[in-house]
Amino acid sequence: MTLIASLPVATEEMAQALVEALGASEELDFPTAATTEQADKSWIVDIYFEDAPDETVLATLIADAMKGSVPHYTVAPLPDEDWVAKSLEGLRPVRAGRFLVHGSHDREKIRPGDIAIEIEAGEAFGTGHHGTTAGCLAEIDRICTARDFGSILDLGTGTGVLAIAIAKAFGKRVLATDIDAVATRVTRENAVLNGVGDLIEAETAEGFGNPVFAAHAPFELIIANILAGPLIALAGDIARHLDPASGTVVLSGLLTAQGPSVTAAYEAEGLKLVRSGEMEGWLTLTLERAR
């Protein structure tokens, strides 16, 4: 169950300081946070937790980041609501590299030369409108244009937008996995909608113990757009399933402050950071086997 804490803060600077402190907190398992400006120019910081946080650690971190001021907040279950559909209200098509991510109502926005990916508001995360997904799309366009990859894994596929991008632009088969059965069902539906249903194998799999990974490994390209905590925890498994000669990993779902911790975890597994890109405050890291 996802938990949320919402904190009112006075200024954008305070909101950003709090988000950066949260993103660097190993004690709180690198929680994700988002900021929203209010009509009165104040800000709300929403913090998302997969497990109940240590309240003392959280309160101390907030006090330090906000220089002694701790606004009232509670940690409570995230309401059961279609957050993807809610987040897409009023959103425009998004361009990333040659890719255009759009809903059915924006098909007329497709230009000659666009690689259009149609994703509707649905039940799974990853619509292309978030800075993490858009950053991954731009990096996919760059690296897959420069090099031909064989076995490819999209780990934590969400709506399948990244797997669809690879299949549609480069005609590649992709294994798309997620721990959520809803996400893999949505990925299959979106793959068919975008004409690449025969190129994408969507599987529900929690952890690399699932035999589907061994059946497709070693992977020449692994894309993981999830969160900093899971990315650090999975560093060893991802490295072990990567092609030992020429494997490449693209990681996202990271705030800027989380980059050093995630990079260190993968460098400890013999990978080398070759590129770091930022979009809307979110990082996309590309690593390769160190030579």
Domain 3-77: what homologous superfamily?
ACT domain (3.30.70.260)
219 phi, psi to nearest 5 deg: -95, 135
Q: Give domain limits for the chain.
A: 3-77, 83-289
Q: What is the pLDDT of residue 105?
A: 78
The residue with tokens 């059915």 is: 104
Is 225 known as a binding-site position?
Answer: yes
Q: Bigger pLDDT: 81 or 42?
A: 42
Whether residue 19 is predicted with pLDDT greater than 70 in this model: the reply is yes
Is 180 known as a binding-site position?
Answer: no
Q: Bigger pLDDT: 248 or 101?
A: 248
Strand partners, 59: none
Confidence (pTM): 0.74
Whether residue 188 is predicted with pLDDT greater than 60 in this model: the reply is yes
Q: What amino acid is encoded at 265 in this protein?
A: A
Whether residue 122 is predicted with pLDDT greater than 80 in this model: the reply is no
83-289 in CATH: which number?
Answer: 3.40.50.150
Is 157 known as a binding-site position?
Answer: no
Average pLDDT over residues 197-219: 95
Average pLDDT over residues 117-138: 68
Average pLDDT over residues 182-207: 94
Q: What is the mean pLDDT of the chain?
A: 86
Is 36 known as a binding-site position?
Answer: no
Residue 211 half-sphere exposure, CB side, CA atoms within 13 Å? 0
The pLDDT-based confidence of 121 (bands split at 50, 70, 90) is low
* Encoded tokens for 169: 């632009």
Whether residue 291 is predicted with pLDDT greater than 80 in this model: the reply is no
Please answer whether residues 174 and 153 qualify as being in contact, where contact means their C-beta atoms are separated by less than 8 angstroms. Answer: yes
Q: What amino acid is encoded at 175 in this protein?
A: L
112 phi, psi to nearest 5 deg: -55, 130
Q: In sequence order, what E strands does the chain have?
A: 3-9, 32-37, 43-49, 75-77, 94-96, 99-102, 115-118, 152-155, 174-178, 200-204, 221-225, 248-255, 271-279, 282-289
Rounded Cα distance between 271 and 94, Å, is 31
